[in-house]
Amino acid sequence: MSVGDAWVKCMRAAVIGLGVIVAMGSAMPDAMAQAGKPIKIVAFGDSLTAGYMLAPSEAFPVVLGKALQGRGHAVEVINAGVSGDTTSAGRDRLGWAVPADADAVILELGANDGLRGLDPAAAKRNLEAIIQALTAQKAVILLAGMRAPRSMGDTYTTAFDAIFPELAAKYGLVLYPLFIEATALKPSLSLADGLHPNAKGVEAIVAGILPDVEAVIARVTARRGQPAKG
């Protein structure tokens, strides 16, 4: 190889190396900014999420956010609960209720469908449409399950109860099988209606769901390329 050829080869290598550095440099600010942002979690649900008959500070999203921050997680938890929402109503407001930059969504809908005896197949379609939309915007989803009242009969309850594990398995979601597991049939943790949690009930729900929310946070941090806490 001549001196000229060697010089050309060295110059080519330098140009390629410079291109790599420039490409890395242009990506680094975005990556660093993403790493420094709190994880935005949207609690998207009905009255169980919204905090029916509770002070704003006692609502599930607020209590969850404080619990996560107390465990060292940099998070922002947004209350996107609306009392009375069915899966259909949630589907209708999804576009404006969940911001496009949400890192994760706790999807808690279905209780009102079950209480009203609405078609389980329709509820499943609505939830699946919500899941598909959230997946398209790259949000990590925690699906909070619900069970139909036993008074609806075996056929109805079997179809309804299967919605949540089936969708979680199909889309690889984090599943919390029963959102009100900690408070169901426990008067000391419920309001007078026997359905909604009181302030202590919300704390019990948060304590139960916390490990699954941390699993969601781990998925978000993995996407960001950050080491997960702990």
Q: Are 51 and 59 in contact (CB under 8 A)?
A: yes
Q: Is 190 helix (H, G, I), strand (E, B) or coil?
A: strand
What is the reported pTM?
A: 0.84
Q: Are residues 9 and 48 in the same domain?
A: no
Q: Which member of 46, 73, 190, 196 is catalytic? A: 196
Ranges of the chain whose pLDDT falls below 50: 3-4, 6-33
Q: What are the start-end ranges of the H helices in 37-110? A: 47-50, 60-70, 87-97
Q: Are residues 58 and 151 in the same domain?
A: yes
Indicate the residue type of 130. I
pLDDT of residue 211: 98
Domain that holds residue 56: 38-224
Give the C-alpha separation, 222 to 185, whole Å.
Answer: 38
Give the C-alpha separation, 204 to 197, whole Å.
Answer: 9
Q: Are residues 70 and 180 in the same domain?
A: yes
pLDDT of residue 184: 93
Give the C-alpha separation, 227 to 63, whole Å.
Answer: 25
Domain count, the chain: 2
The phi, psi pair for 179, rounded to 5°, reads -60, -40
Please write the tens of the pLDDT for every residue from 105-141.
999 999 999 999 999 999 999 999 999 999 999 999 9
Structural domain contains residue 157: yes
Structural domain contains residue 229: no
Please write the tens of the pLDDT for every residue from 41-53.
999 999 999 999 9
pLDDT of residue 36: 73
Residue of 169, 174, 94, 108 lying closest to 142 (CA atoms): 174
Structural domain contains residue 168: yes
Q: Are residues 193 and 218 in the same domain?
A: yes
State the Cα angle at 74 between 32 and 209, rounded to 5°: 135
Q: Are residues 95 and 9 in the same domain?
A: no
Q: Are residues 53 and 27 in the same domain?
A: no
State the Cα angle at 141 between 139 and 145, rounded to 5°: 160
Q: Which member of 47, 85, 113, 190 is catalytic? A: 47
Structural domain contains residue 230: no
The phi, psi pair for 191, rounded to 5°, reads -70, 175
Q: Which member of 5, 30, 154, 193 is catalytic? A: 193
Q: Are residues 122 and 11 in the same domain?
A: no
CATH number at residue 69: 3.40.50.1110
DSSP class of 116: H
Q: Are residues 47 and 131 in the same domain?
A: yes
Average pLDDT of the chain to the nearest whole number: 88
Return the H-helix or E-strand segment holding 215: helix 199-224
Active-site residue flag, 196:
yes
Active-site residue flag, 73:
no
Structural domain contains residue 68: yes
